[in-house]
Structure formats: C-alpha cells, structure tokens
A and B are shown apart, each in its own frame.
Chain A
C-alpha cells in the first residue's frame, strides 16, 4: 500500500486528455474527412468522397515540395544539433557565473518571436544594410546583392530558431556528465582532440538522436522562416498547405496535403526510432 488513493492526479490527467481530444483529435478527424471533399471555389468545399485531392499530391510539384520540406527540416535539425552540442559542451565547462550568462542568453533568444528573428535576419542579409554591405566595405565583395531570399538564408533562420531549444534540452545532461569518463579515455591513449568523437558523441548518442528527431518535427511545422527568408521553391509543405487552404480557399487539397505530411512524418519517426533501438542493443 502506497497510501490512500487520491483522485487529483487522475482528474488532472483526465482533463488534459479531454483537452487533447477536443483540440487535437477532433480537428484531425475533421481534417481527414475534409481531405476527401470536393473543392468549391465559392465556398471552401462540397461534401463528397473523392481521391482527387490525394491524386494532386502525386503530381510532381507537391511531391517535390514535400520531399524538399523533409530535406530542409532534416538538414536543419542535423545542423542545429551539430552546432548546439559542441556549444553546450563548451558552456558546461565554464565557470558557474559564465554558465548562467549563457543560459540566460539562450533563454532570452527563445523569448523572441519567429517573426522578429526573421526580420532581423532579413535586415542582416539585405543588400542595403546588412552583411553584404559590410563585406563590400571590407573589400571582400565587389557588387553585393541581397543574400535573401535563398535556401541558405532559410537554413540560417531555421538553425537560429532551433538553436536555443536544442541547447537548453541538452544542457542538463551534458553539464551533469561524469567528466572522469573523458579522462579515462585519455589515460587509455585517446588523444584529447578525439575524445569528442570517440567518447562524447557515442555517450550522448541516444539524446542526440532524440533531440534531432524533435527538431525535425519542429522544423517541419515552421511557417514564418521559409516565407520570409526562402524563395518560393524553398517553401516547405507547411507554407504550401496554408497557401492552398487559405490563399486559394482550397481546403480539401490543403487537408489532403496535411494528411500526407502527417503520415510521412510518422513513418520517418518510426523508422528512425527502430534504427536507433536496433543499434542500442
């Protein structure tokens, strides 16, 4: 017997479940249903059952775009983690005071909205005010052009967006790690420069994979960065979906694309989870 049975936690859990059901599952079902409706230029949709919307997905444009979003989200996620993990390692070895400084810096980055960050980069990469001008002034670039919109600019935006989140997720376990493990590796002949690859990455592999997957899903849903910093052909599925659903008032096509995206995302997650589990044993 642990103690008298209390209903508090169950009640809260039940409430949370209820909220999730109402605000996630029901819209999801609605979305799936709508994806089979007929588009109606005059009034969003007509109730029907057609495969036409899914058919459109396999026409090359949407197909390419969906893989492009998978690609940019995956690349973004890998880049974010590849940059954030070394930084967190570096920060965790600083003095307490400096660590606190970095944590506050990262937290304050997280407080900025996507739109503000997007604008900031837009200005930084613009022809008239930003980095290109600086490069011209230094003499490194003769005829500067704006660096955005471009795939690279969008990537920078995505990485910036995910950076503080990933850093703060990794920080607790990295700062509490047993430093003796790295020292043991050195006493066994590992050159200090290789400790990162031979010990730290394998030790944190599970957390690195899971935080990369989290970032992947997060970046798939990012909307502002691609529209602000990317060219139309860099636009991710999220942008296309809202463009179709809201811009063209074609809700059924938007819904069908969203369903396909959801299925692909879940498949990617399942496959990566299976792969990591197999390697862990």
Chain B
C-alpha cells in the first residue's frame, strides 16, 4: 500500500475507495492569535484514524500551538476541530479523551512511577486491583517491567520518557499528542525511542500527532508530515513525497539539502545533491569544486556554479574522483528535477 505517496488528495481518494473510515481528526479554518501575533492562520487538515502525523517546522511556526489547541490547553479564535465527528472546541481539556507527552515530560514529582501512570485511572475511580494490573501491563509495554515503585527522579532520561508515554496512553486516549518529547535526548537514545514509539503506535493503532523541529525525526516516524511555516501549512504529505516533490520553495529547502536553480522565464527547479552526477566533459552546467568531504560511505561536494554554491553527493567510489578546484560538468536526469512554483 504505497499509494499514500501521491499526497493529500490521493490519500483522501484512497480512503474514499476503502470507504471504511472517516477522518478521525478534522481541523477546518483554525485561527489563533496571541495579542497581535497570529500564531495560526487558517489551518485545515484531516488526519485519518490510526495515522501518525508529524507537525514539522522551525520555532514559532505554530506547530506547538496547533497541538495545544487539539489538546484544549489553548482556546482558538475561530474554526473547527472535530474528533471522531465530535466538536472538540466545545469540550474542556479535562473532558477530552487525549493522551499528551510534554517536552519537559511533566511527570508528577510527588508520585512514583506506578502512581504517575495510574493517576488518570485513580481519578476516574478505577478499582485499585484493575489499575495495578493495567499499570503492570503499561510498564511491560514501554519496557520498564518492575520499576513501578521507583521514584520518577531516580530514572534515566530515556526511562522517564517511557513513563511519560505510558502515563499518556493509560486512559486509552482517542488521540495521542507528543510535543517534541525527545529533544533532550542524545542521538542514539533518540533513535531508539523513535523506534519504540513507532512500534507502540502501530500496535495500538492510536491516531498520533507528533510535534518536532527535527526533519530526520519526522521522516523516521510519520505516515504523513505536515510542514508548517509562519502559522500556515506549507505542505502535508508522506515523507518521500515531501522529499521528492516539494510543493513550495520553503519545503524544498527545509527538508534535506536541495539545489534551487532559477531559469529565465521558467519556474525554478529543485535538484537533490544525490541526483547530480559529475563529469569532466559533456554539456550542461559547469562549475568548480570548492570543497569535498568524505563522511563514511558518503562523499559530499560543494561546487561553485556561477554565483551559486551547489551541493552534490554520492556513495564514495561510485563516481570518478576529482581534485579540489577541478572544473566539472553537472548533469541529472529530467525526472529528478522538480519544478517549483515561481
């Protein structure tokens, strides 16, 4: 099933063909201002049941505000948020059935691990026995078997992440929200947590909205990435669609490294570094190699073409080698050149 690659429109078509499930979370014309600052300008997006969505963008792009509006931690100015057909904007945060993991994790410092996870269940009057069994099951799920009696402060960063995830999922939320939960972890641990979150999400099939500024993280996790900029959605689509067919110049340069080539009287094109091959002869653009660096398997080059510095990369040893300063001809196949809006 890879027809999701085709993008938003095709995705809706695919779901229509499947015919079974409605969009679980539907946001229409959502606006939010803080004073004179417009944090969200007319956001509309539909998230499918069980889908994993990443809101991706730089700081101040509105991604966290959007998440907090879904959670009910902020009030919107106008627009609609529907979850499972229910108008969420009329329901206060504590009555929405959501699970949220915060950037700071926000574990309750006065409760131990088990009590943190059981908090919501206790509040709802779940019998103690039942809650205990559920806590044990959740601890198993996040790989913290037997640590229920520990103080939250006695755990490592990664373990605390897991507690926060287990706590958010304890009430079997309709929607799972995560606000840059892994930004404080080191790279290796972050990779590991990403894999685990993905596994848990797949097993539970819970609709998930994950906020991140890290495009690698978004690529690794998301069924669909929503790229945001200045309070608006630039593009929403599967990771490989965003990578190979960016809808805007912003997306083209925000996701990965890209070369934008302006053309007289025509739309500019975007060519990825790995799509470019170099030669000493032939026709096409010529340039001079400024720098080359070998990063393990990858060889990266910067090439000066006219007034512009272009990036080229290849698996080391797959192409001819050049000296620094050498003049080279750049070429790519037409299907790798993506025309951007002017």
Contact = CB atoms under 8 A, between A and B. Distances in A.
A184 B106 contact: yes
A178 B164 CA distance: 15
Contacts of B124: 189
Interface string A169-187: 0000000001011011111
Chain A interface mostly: helix
Interface string B92-132: 11111011101111111111000000011001100000000
A199 B108 contact: yes
A205 interface: yes
Nearest to A205: B110
B171 interface: yes
Interface in A179-237: 180-181, 183-192, 198-199, 202-203, 205
Nearest to B123: A189
Nearest to A206: B110
B92 to A, nearest CB: 8
Contacts of A186: 72-73, 93-94
Interface in B52-104: 71-73, 92-96, 98-100, 102-104
A203 B73 contact: no
A191 B94 CA distance: 6
B104 A180 contact: yes
A183 B168 CA distance: 12
A188 B73 contact: no
Q: Kindly name the residue among A180, A188, A198, A205 whose own CB sees the greatest number of chain B CB atoms within 10 A.
A: A188
- How many residues of A sit at the interface, in one of the four size bands? 10 to 19
A190 B108 CA distance: 13
Contacts of A188: 94, 119-120, 123, 167, 170-171
B39 to A, nearest CB: 17
B73 A189 contact: no
Given A185-B108, A192-B94, A180 B102 contact: yes
B190 to A, nearest CB: 20
A196 to B, nearest CB: 14
A189 B124 CA distance: 8
Chain B interface mostly: loop
Contacts of A189: 94-95, 120, 123-124, 171
Contact of A190 (B94, B96, B102): B94
B123 A187 contact: no
B126 to A, nearest CB: 11
Contacts of A191: 94
A66 B249 CA distance: 79
A186 B120 CA distance: 10
A181 B93 CA distance: 14
A191 B96 CA distance: 11
A43 B72 CA distance: 76
Interface in B128-183: 167-168, 170-171
Interface string B196-209: 00000000000000
A202 B109 CA distance: 9
Q: Kindly name the residue among A184, A185, A190, A191 whose own CB sees the greatest number of chain B CB atoms within 10 A.
A: A184
A205 B111 CA distance: 12
Contacts of A185: 108, 119
A183 B119 contact: no
Nearest to A182: B106
Interface of B: 71-73, 92-96, 98-100, 102-111, 119-120, 123-124, 167-168, 170-171
Given A187-B71, A189-B123, 17 more contacts: A180-B102, A180-B106, A181-B109, A183-B71, A183-B100, A183-B102, A184-B107, A184-B167, A186-B72, A186-B94, A187-B168, A188-B167, A189-B124, A191-B94, A199-B108, A203-B108, A203-B109
8 contacts: A181-B108, A183-B73, A184-B108, A187-B98, A189-B94, A189-B123, A192-B94, A203-B110
Shortest Cβ-Cβ A-B pairs, 6 listed = A180-B106, A188-B120, A184-B106, A202-B110, A180-B102, A187-B100
